[in-house]
A and B are shown apart, each in its own frame.
Chain A
């Protein structure tokens, strides 16, 4: 089955710097890769996602890149702000018609220091 590895487990940056979180997946059939942000005591919130027919997607300060050949994808946050501090999870999903379940990475605790 699918396995997702996420690095680093913790990341500390200064406000205004960029943050990059990387994930690798094992199942080449996976074709959907969302990123979730989870603040303490709250539910995971979808912040961006990418499908396997696209190499990069941007939404304001957040971008995700996907390398299907290498089976890895990354989250990039630019101009970080203290409110970006949270745990970020990547996930991979097989095709929707194969059940659509998400397999999550281990999470990255991002701390943005003012």
Chain B
């Protein structure tokens, strides 16, 4: 499976500020995704990070609030902008389309635990 790392692993932030989360993969992957997991809940897809073009956002998520970058095939960032306590969640990146692995198989990073005060 792909080795995926995320930074930071956790953070405590003040409302109104922004935090950028990084996701690094040890090999080139076709697709990268960002999910949110609110406390005790399931995973909800925020957006698909497209290499070289704008991210594709799911219903209920907008670029101004969650800008995403994907400068190459091994790296992506998610920014949580103008944070409020409701943004307190775990943010997870996942990857798909690693060479030698079934195309659909998705692996997750360790997550970033965000607490907004």
Q: How many residues of B contact A (CB 8 A)?
A: 26
Q: Is the CB of B103 within 8 A of A100?
A: yes
B45 within 8 A of A: yes
Verify A34–B110 contact, CB threshold 8 A.
no
Residues of A within 8 A of B103 (CB): 96, 100
The answer on a CB contact under 8 Å between A100 and B108 is: no
Q: Are B48 and A106 in contact (CB under 8 A)?
A: no
- A89's closest neighbor in chain B, by CB? B42
What is the chain A residue whose CB lies nearest that of B92? A43
Selected contact of A103 from candidates B45, B102, B107, CB within 8 Å: B45
Q: Could you tell me the distance between the alpha carbons of A49 and B41 in the complex, rounded to whole angstroms?
A: 21
Measured in the bound complex, the distance between the Cα atoms of B102 and A36 in whole Å is: 16
Please, how many angstroms separate the alpha-carbon atoms of A96 and B1 in the complex?
18
> B105 near A102 (CB under 8 angstroms)?
no
Nearest-Cβ distance from residue A30 to partner chain B, whole angstroms: 11
**Cβ–Cβ contact A49 & B108, under 8 A:** no
- Does B67 interact with chain A (Cβ within 8 Å)? no
Interface readout for A86-114 with B: 1 if CB under 8 Å, 0 if not? Answer: 00010001001001111111110000000
A44 interface contact, C-beta 8 A: yes
A106 CA / B33 CA spacing, docked (Å): 19
Residue of A nearest to B47 (CB): A101
Residues from 75 to 103 in B contacting A, C-beta threshold 8 Å: 92, 94, 96-97, 102-103
8 cross-chain pairs, A with B, having the tightest CB-CB distances, nearest first? A32-B104, A43-B108, A96-B103, A104-B43, A104-B42, A43-B110, A107-B42, A44-B108
* Residues of chain A whose beta carbon lies under 8 Å from any beta carbon of chain B: 1, 32, 34, 36, 42-46, 49, 51, 89, 93, 96, 99-107
